[in-house]
Structure 1
C-alpha cells in the first residue's frame, strides 16, 4: 500500500503541472481566435500538429528506454545510461536542426509558410530543445523529484503564457500609446510569429533551468548500450507515431469524408470544441503516466508477489479514480459546457464517448507494463498499428453517415480494441492476475450511475440536477472506499 500511496502522491504532483498547463493553454484559444484571422489561426493549428509528430520522432522512445536500462540488472550505473541517452538526443536534435536549415525553402512551402520561414526556424529550434530536455525531465522522474519536475513545468508554462499576453495584448496597446518604448524589438506585422517566439523563449529558459541536471556526472557514450536502447525503443517510436495519429487523424480525414463539404469545417469545429471538455480525463492519464513508468521499473527489481500486487493495485485504483473523474464531468456537465459557446452545445453528446475512449487508453497504458518489462516493446507497436487501422476504417465507414459521432465511436473502438488485445496477449506472455471482476464492477457501476442520473434529470433545472447528483458521486466514492477498506485518514498526509 505504501508504494501505491507514493504513486498517488507523485501522480497528483505531476498532474498539477499537466492540469494547469493544459488549462491555461486552452484558455489562450479565445485570445488567438479574437486577435488573429481564422486563416492565421488555422496555420498555428497546422504547425503545432506537425510539431507534435516531430517531437515524437525526435525523442524516439528514449524516455522509456532510459527508465528500462537505468533499472537494468546488466547496467549498474544509471548515470552511464543517462549520459548515453543525452548524447544520443543531443546529436539527433542538432542533426534535425541542421537538416531543416539545409532544406528550409521546401520545408516552409510544405508547411504553408512560404515567405514566413522564420516561423519554421523558430518551431524547429523549439522542437530540438524540447526533444533534448525530455531526458533531464525523465531523470527528475527517475530520481523521484516530482516537485522540481512540476516547478520547472509550471515556470515553462507561466513564461509561455506571460509572453503570449505581452506580445499579443500589451505590445499592440503600447504600439498605439508609446511606440518608441518597443519599436526596437516589436513588429506589428509579425502576427502569429509571436506565438512561436513565446514558445521558443520559454523552452530555451527551461533548458537553462535544467542545467543542474546536466552536471555532476561523467559524460560518456556506451555504443553497446546505445544499440540495445535503440532496439528497445524503436518499436516505441512507431507506437508513439501511431498514438499521435490515433488522436489527431480525425481532423485530417473529416473534411474529406463528410458529405456536405460546405459544412465540414463547421462540424469539425463543434466536435473539436466538445472533446476539449474530456480533457480532464486526458490530464489525469497523462499525470498517471508520468508517475507510473518510474514506478513499474523500480518495482521490477522486487521479488515475490509484492511486485505483482503493486501492479494489480495500481490498475484497480486507476480505474476507481478515472471513474470518479468520469462521473464528475458527466454530473456537472451543465457547468463545464460553459467553457464553450452555446452554438457548440449540439456536440455535447460526444463527451461521454470520448471520455470512455480515453479511459480505455489509460487501461491500455497500464497493461503496457508486461511488454516493457519483458523488453518486447514490438508488441506495443503492433497494438498501436492495429488501433490505427481501426481508426481509419471506422472513420471512413461512419463519418459519411453519422458525421462527428463517427469520429467519437472510431476513437472508442480504437482504444477499446487496443486495450482488449493487449490484455489477452498479456495473459499469455506476462500474467499479472488483475482483479478483473472488481475492475469491471467499478466501471459498470459508474456507467449505471450515470444512466440513472440521466434518467431522473430535470431538463431545464441544472441546479436541481447537480443537487441530486452530488450525493450520487459521493456515494460512489464511499462505496469504493468501503470495498477497498480505505479510511479517510489514509488519504490525509501524516505528520512526521
Structure 2
C-alpha cells in the first residue's frame, strides 16, 4: 500500500471516530437549544472553552513529544512508559489541588461550584487516556482507537437523551430520581460527559499494564523540553479557539452577554463540518509526518498532502456556505438563533486556514524547531485578544468571527514563510492558491451578494466540482486505475 493511500485509509477511519463525537454535538445542539434558555446555553458554551484550555494544560505537549521520541529513540518502550507515568503523576496532583481550591476557582470564574467540580473530574479523566490513545495511533490501530471513541459517543448520547427526555417523565417518588433531577439542566450535560469519560478510562486501563512503569529521567527531560513549546502553542490555540466566547461574556453587558454567547455558539456549530475534516486529517497525518520524515521523497509527499487537503477543504467550505439555509434547520431549529448566521463563512474559512496551517507545520515538528510553533500560535493569540477587545464593544459577535479568521489566516501565512526558510517544501502554490481563491470568491458571492440563494449556491458548487475535474483529471484517472 502506498504511503498516501495508507494515510487516507487511516484518515478515513480516524474520521469516523472524529465525526461521530462531532455528530453527537450536532445532534445534541437542537436538544440543548430546545430545553435550555439562551443564557444557560451560553454558560455551557463558555464552560466548554475552559475544558479546551484544561485539556491542553494537562497534556502539556506530551502527546506530540510521544510521537517524536518513539520514532526517534531506540528505547521506544521507555519513551511510552515515561510519557504515561508523567501524565499520571501530574494529573493526580492537579486533581488534588483543584478540588482543594474548587470554591476559589468557582468564585473567580463566576460559575456554580458544581460545574467546576464536574469540569475538574472530566479534565483529569480525559488526561489519563491521552497516552493510551496516542499509543493506538502510533501502533497504527485506528480501528481500536475508533471503536473506543465511538463507544464513548454512544454512552454520552444515551445519557443525554435519558436525562433530557426520559427522566422528566419518571415519577419523582424514587429517591434516586430526585437526586438526579435538576432545575438547571446544564448539570445533565456535564454528568453525561463525566460518566462517558470514566467508562473510556476503564476500557483503556489495561494499556497501563501493557505499556509498563519504566521511567527514564533523561528521556523525560528531553520530552518536556520538546513538548514545552507545543504546550505554549496549545494554550495559544485554546485562546484562538475559545476565548472569543469568554470575552463576549465579560465585555458585553451582564444582562445580555450569556444570551449573546448562546446565539454565537449555536451558529458557530455550523463550522463543525470543516472542523470534522481538519481534525480527522490531523489525527491521521501527524504520526504519518514523523514516520516518513527520513524518506528521500518526504518533501514531495508533504506537498501532495497539502494540495489534496486544500482541494477537499475548499469544496467543504463552499458546500456548507451554499447550503447554510438547509443545514440551519438541522442544527439550529430555533429561529431566534439565526441572527448570528452572518459569521458562518468567516468561521468556516478560519477553520480551513487552521487546517492548512496544520499541514504546513510539519517543518518545525520534524526538524525539532517546535519553538516556532509556539511563536506563531502566540502571535495568533495576540491577534485574537486584541481584535476581540477592539471589535466586541463595537460589533459584538461579528468582531469575534473577524478576529478568529485574522488569527488563523496569519498563522497559516507565518508558518509558510518560516517553513520556506528552514525546510523548503515544493508546494504547488498555483493550484493551492487557485482552489483557495475561487472557493472564497464563490462563497462570498453566494452568501453575502446573492443572499444565500440555493439555486445560485448549487450552481457555484457544480462549477467548483468542474474546476476540480479539469485540473485533476489526470490524477483522478491514475487513482481509478489503481482502485
1:124 to 112, 120, 124: 120
| Alignment map for 1:30-429 (pairs within 5 Å) | 30-36=30-36, 40-72=40-72, 75-113=73-111, 116-117=113-114, 119-175=115-171, 179-180=173-174, 182-183=176-177, 186-188=180-182, 191-255=185-249, 257=251, 267-302=260-295, 304=296, 306-338=297-329, 339-340=331-332, 341-429=334-422
After superposition, give the CA deviation of every residue in 1:14-38 in whole Å (9 maximum; x if it has no partner).
Answer: 1112222112223323333443455
Q: Which residue of 2 aligns with 1:434?
A: 427
State the secondary structure of the residue aligned to 2:270: coil
User: In 2, distance between residues paired with 1:148 and 1:195?
Assistant: 26
Distance change in 2, residues 1:478/1:142 (3 Å): same
C-alpha displacement of 1:359: 1.3
Q: CA deviation at 1:467?
A: 5.3
Residues 171 and 182 in structure 1, CA contact (< 8 A), matched pair in contact too: no
Structure 1 residue 298: Cα displacement = 0.3
Which has the higher mean CA deviation after the structures are superposed, 207-216 or 133-142?
207-216
Contact persistence 1:328–1:473 (CA under 8 A): no
Confirm or deny: 8 A CA contact 2:318 2:461 kept in the other structure.
no
* Superimposed CA distance per residue, residues 51-83 of structure 1 (whole angstroms, 9 cap, x where no aligned partner): 2211110000111000000111xx213221111
How many residue pairs are counted as aligned between the two chains? 481
Unaligned runs of 5+ in 1: none
Q: TM-score if structure 2 supplies the norm length? A: 0.91
Give the distance between the partners of 1:415 and 1:181, measured in 2 at CA.
50
Secondary structure at 1:219's aligned position in 2?
coil
Change (3 A) 1:78 1:490: farther
- Is residue 324–residue 477 contact of structure 1 (8 Å, CA) maintained in 2? no
Structure-2 separation of matches of 1:127 and 1:262: 30
Q: TM-score, normalised by structure 1?
A: 0.89
User: Which sections of structure 2, spanning at least 5 residues, go unmatched?
Assistant: none
Q: CA RMSD in A?
A: 2.7
